[in-house]
Amino acid sequence: MRNNYIELRINRDFGDILSIYFDFLKQNIKKFTNVFLNYNGIFIVGLLITSYLLVSGFVGLIAADGLYGNGSGSVSDEDYLIYLFSGLGIFLIIFLLVAGLNFSISSAYLVKYDETSGNHFDKKEVWLLFKDRWGDILLFIILLIPLYIIYLVVAIVFTFIPLIGIFVQYVLQFFLAAWIGVSFFCMLSEKKGVITSFKEGWTLVINNFWRSVGVNFILGLLNGLLFFIILLIPGVIIGLYTFHVVENNVDVTGSVISMVVYTLALCLVLIASVYAQCLSQFVNGILYYALHEKTYNVNTRSKIEQIGKSGL
């Protein structure tokens, strides 16, 4: 396994970072997926329940208006609204928990990969790293709230500026993604405090601004394309099934098969979204190691010292 190890602490340019990211995925996608499913089991069940409530509420409201089948007539609009808002409330809670967990799990996985020079570590080590830093992780996530509020205010201001405003919005979006991702890796990899990590992340990203923004932009598009491909086949199936429902005036709210199909489809979309978020954090992990090595030359100096010692 060590022979297949992809060394992360190397000063890489834009193209090399993109290439290494996909090499890393090919080598680690199976093991990381296993880690992802292992630690997200309870949340997947929660997303399934959320999907059922959302589908029941949304489809029920449409059917009650006579736009989507005949409606069963046994449930009022108020009940469907309860389903819908209950589903939205549970989804919001689960989303925050899942986002925090998987942002951490994917980061911890990459940190352990670097520490052990390969993926031959036990998946429990990933959880232990997360568990050891959960206080800092929680504080980090809490501090993201004002950051995103500030970003939204700035983004809204730039919407009133034609063309240039849109460009600036996207630049700020990918800069923020790079800054947050790199700062998080500073915290986990270097065991620094939250504020210190934000400062370190700012320094690394601002000194390599266009490389950081460009990597997040390109790989964001590619991850989005991967997400689309994953959902393409089930999306076509759902589209054909919906056509069948509309053409045959099927009572969706009274059909067990319809509810199961739509619930599973929505649940799949939510799980795939969470998984895509994990992959995007790998992007900033690889970016972090490249920028850190460019700035401090830790790995380079270590190799020079080893060569010096072996020559004595």
Average pLDDT estimate for 279-308: 86
For 205-226, the pLDDT digits (tens) are 999 999 999 999 998 888 888 8
**3-state DSSP of the chain:** CHHHCCCCCCCCCHHHHHHHHHHHHHHHHHHHHHHHHHHCHHHHHHHHHHHHHHHHHHHHHHHHCCCCCCCCCCCCHHHHHHHHHHHHHHHHHHHHHHHHHHHHHHHHHHHHHHHCCCCCCCHHHHHHHHHHCHHHHHHHHHHHHHHHHHHHHHHHHHCCCCCHHHHHHHHHHHHHHHHHHHHHHHHHHCCCCHHHHHHHHHHHHHCCHHHHHHHHHHHHHHHHHHHHHHHHHHHHHHHHHHHHHHHCCCCHHHCHHHHHHHHHHHHHHHHHHHHHHHHHHHHHHHHHHHHHHHHHCHHHHHHHHHHHHHHC
Q: Mean pLDDT lowest for which of 27-41, 183-197, 270-284?
A: 270-284
| pLDDT tier at 39, thresholds 50, 70, 90 | confident
Residue 303 has pLDDT above 80, yes or no: no
pLDDT value for 279? 85
Residue 73 has pLDDT above 50, yes or no: no
| pLDDT tier at 180, thresholds 50, 70, 90 | very high
pLDDT value for 285? 93
pLDDT value for 64? 59
Average pLDDT estimate for 154-168: 89
Average pLDDT estimate for 194-204: 96
Which pTM was predicted?
Answer: 0.85
The rounded mean pLDDT for the chain is 85
pLDDT value for 1? 43
More confident of the two residues 299 and 210: 210
Q: What percent of the chain has pLDDT over 70?
A: 90
Residue 70 has pLDDT above 70, yes or no: no
| pLDDT tier at 254, thresholds 50, 70, 90 | low
Average pLDDT estimate for 274-294: 90
Average pLDDT estimate for 43-60: 81
Q: What percent of the chain has pLDDT over 90?
A: 43
